[in-house]
């Protein structure tokens, strides 16, 4: 960390108008430089150039820091926190792909405490939580584990001044076409319909779509025997569609549930009573998003063993309400082996504990990060020999919703 002098600090307020922002918390914000579209995964040309103080004060100093690894920021965003307005920063990890490794952040107009939380315990045995004081005019640079393996956040009560402003700077490379769209040696494919001739060939387009729809989806990681995790299993748009259907379905309300912890729940498909172990005809049909979005993708997973879920339950966790999932093993007899679970709205850490130490010499306990929009499939040892649960402190976002899907055959009754 380093500090800037008071004279340099006075130039920070040459800002465009502040705009209220609810992404990653509640505060006011502004952006300059190249535009990173997190949904479309694209970096586009700047709408507003970097302000004078970034180019001539901050970047000039950053160039001399070896921690910047030679990176020169071409993107900056400022956040204005007001303690009296209840502002805060939600726990998050900055995008891992669109921007280069170093993230530089300068504190202005006040002090705060930032909380870093280990979200990659499988590969990082460093501290689980670290609280860091960020004094006014201090610069912090995130690289390596701090950049990729720890989320960072500012709780409202950790704003130590009535106002705090931060400016975060990154280098986010543009593509060659975006750097030089008129180059005579490069075809601008978006403006030349002939360059997209295959999209106008209906037969070829159908073949491409058919191949994409049947191509096997490979797991991203396998943290335990039989446990498969697929990152970005659904798109942002698909997540929004699923959540809209869950939250605004008027015929089925969220109900508080205490059998496996404390949270709210909705059930669809086969009616299986956990208490009496009775299996009955469905009271509520499987939701439309299952047939439209999830089932076609699940059929492309080798880990599903050909199973087609006919039973699903959604769980709504709220961190501020103290919600959690009690450690348990899903019923070993009533359902077929694969259990599929989709994470929505937020990240969490699920704890797996070995419940069969006599016949299983694997790890006793494993903490597994479940990022938003990932799917996990439990089979084999992870399904039958490990319990799984979520502690309230391991809910890394204010809200997390999960959908668990199983195939429950009639003969199980």
Helix (H, G, I), strand (E, B) or coil at 262: strand
Statement: residue 8 has pLDDT above 80: no
Confidence of residue 139 (pLDDT cuts 50, 70, 90): very high
Mean pLDDT of 123-143: 86
Give the distance between the most distant pair of CA atoms in the chain: 77
Please provide the DSSP assignment of 292-328 as one string: IIIHHHHTT-GGGTT----EEEEEEEEGGGT-EEEEE
Token pair for residue 230?
């697929």
**CA 209 to CA 374: how far, in whole Å?**
23
**CA 178 to CA 42: how far, in whole Å?**
10
Per-residue pLDDT, 300: 95
**CA 80 to CA 26: how far, in whole Å?**
10
Confidence of residue 272 (pLDDT cuts 50, 70, 90): low
**CA 22 to CA 33: how far, in whole Å?**
21
**CA 331 to CA 119: how far, in whole Å?**
29
* 6 burial level (CB within 10 Å; 0-12, 13-18, 19+): exposed
* Same CATH fold assignment for domains 2-173 and 217-412: yes
Residue 200 region by backbone torsions, left for phi larger than 0, else alpha for psi between -120 and 50, else beta: alpha
What is the pTM (predicted TM-score) of this model? Answer: 0.52
Residue 337 phi/psi, 5° resolution?
-60, -55
Element (H, E) at 240: helix 236-248
**Cβ neighbours of residue 350 under 8 Å, at least 6 residues apart?**
325, 367, 368, 370, 376, 388, 389, 390, 394
Mean pLDDT of 380-403: 94
**CA 269 to CA 288: how far, in whole Å?**
12
Query: 23-37, 314-328, 399-413: which has the minimum mean pLDDT?
Result: 399-413
**Greater pLDDT, 376 or 93:** 376
Say which CATH topology domain 217-412 has: Jelly Rolls (2.60.120)
Query: 5-19, 111-125, 162-176: which has the minimum mean pLDDT?
Result: 5-19
pLDDT in tens, 238-263: 999 999 999 987 678 899 988 888 99
Residue 171 phi/psi, 5° resolution?
-110, 120
**CA 339 to CA 377: how far, in whole Å?**
5
Statement: residue 364 has pLDDT above 90: no
User: Where are the domains positioned within the chain?
Assistant: 2-173, 217-412
Please list the residues that pair with 341 across neighbouring strands.
Answer: 376, 404
* 281 burial level (CB within 10 Å; 0-12, 13-18, 19+): exposed
Token pair for residue 189?
């494919």
Closest alpha carbon to 83 in 139, 160, 28: 160
**CA 108 to CA 163: how far, in whole Å?**
9
Mean pLDDT estimate for the chain? 83
* 167 burial level (CB within 10 Å; 0-12, 13-18, 19+): buried
Closest alpha carbon to 283 in 306, 264, 266, 295: 266
Q: CB of 355 within 8 A of CB of 387?
A: yes
Closest alpha carbon to 319 in 286, 299, 349: 349
Confidence of residue 234 (pLDDT cuts 50, 70, 90): very high
Per-residue pLDDT, 290: 94
Q: Cα separations (Å) of 212 from 199, 207, 216?
A: 15, 9, 9
Radius of gyration of the chain (CA): 24
**CA 31 to CA 15: how far, in whole Å?**
10
**Greater pLDDT, 289 or 206:** 289
Q: Cα separations (Å) of 193 from 179, 197, 296, 373?
A: 21, 7, 31, 34
Domain 2-173 of CATH type 2.40.70.10:
no
**Greater pLDDT, 191 or 217:** 217
């Amino acid at each position: 960390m380093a500090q800037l002098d008071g004279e340099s600090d006075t130039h920070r307020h040459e800002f465009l108008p502040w705009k209220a922002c609810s992404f990653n918390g509640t505060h006011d914000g502004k952006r300059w430089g190249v535009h990173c579209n997190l949904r479309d995964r694209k970096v586009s040309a700047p709408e507003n150039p970097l302000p004078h103080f970034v180019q001539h004060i901050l970047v000039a100093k950053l160039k001399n820091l070896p921690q910047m690894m030679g990176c020169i920021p071409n993107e900056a965003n400022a956040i204005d926190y007001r303690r009296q307005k209840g502002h805060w920063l939600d726990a998050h990890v900055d995008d891992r792909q669109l921007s280069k490794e170093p993230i530089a952040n300068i504190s202005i107009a006040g002090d705060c405490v930032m909380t870093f939380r280990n979200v990659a315990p499988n590969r990082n045995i460093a501290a689980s939580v670290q609280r860091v004081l960020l004094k006014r005019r201090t610069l912090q640079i995130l690289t390596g584990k701090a950049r990729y393996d720890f989320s960072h956040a500012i709780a409202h009560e950790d704003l130590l001044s009535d106002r705090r402003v931060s400016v975060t700077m990154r280098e986010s490379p543009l593509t060659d076409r975006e750097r030089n769209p008129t180059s005579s040696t490069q075809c601008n494919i978006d403006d030349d319909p002939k360059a997209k001739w295959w999209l106008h060939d209906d037969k070829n387009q159908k073949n491409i779509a058919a191949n994409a729809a049947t191509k096997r989806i490979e797991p991203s990681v396998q943290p335990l025997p039989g446990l498969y995790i697929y990152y970005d299993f659904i798109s942002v748009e698909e997540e929004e569609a699923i959540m809209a259907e869950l939250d605004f379905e008027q015929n089925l309300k969220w109900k508080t549930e205490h059998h496996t912890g404390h949270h709210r729940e909705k059930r669809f498909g086969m009616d299986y009573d956990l208490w009496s172990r009775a299996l009955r005809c469905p009271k509520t049909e499987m939701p439309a998003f299952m047939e439209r979005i999830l089932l076609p993708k699940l059929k492309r997973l080798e880990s599903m063993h050909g199973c087609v879920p006919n039973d699903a339950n959604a769980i709504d966790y709220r961190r501020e309400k103290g919600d959690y999932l009690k450690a348990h093993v899903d019923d070993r007899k009533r359902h077929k082996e694969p259990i599929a679970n989709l994470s929505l709205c937020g990240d969490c850490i699920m704890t797996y504990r070995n419940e069969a130490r006599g016949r299983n010499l694997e790890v006793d306990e494993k903490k597994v990060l479940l990022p938003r929009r990932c799917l996990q499939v439990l089979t084999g040892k992870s399904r039958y020999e490990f319990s799984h649960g979520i502690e309230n402190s391991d809910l890394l976002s204010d809200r997390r919703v999960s959908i668990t899907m199983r195939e429950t055959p009639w003969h199980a009754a």
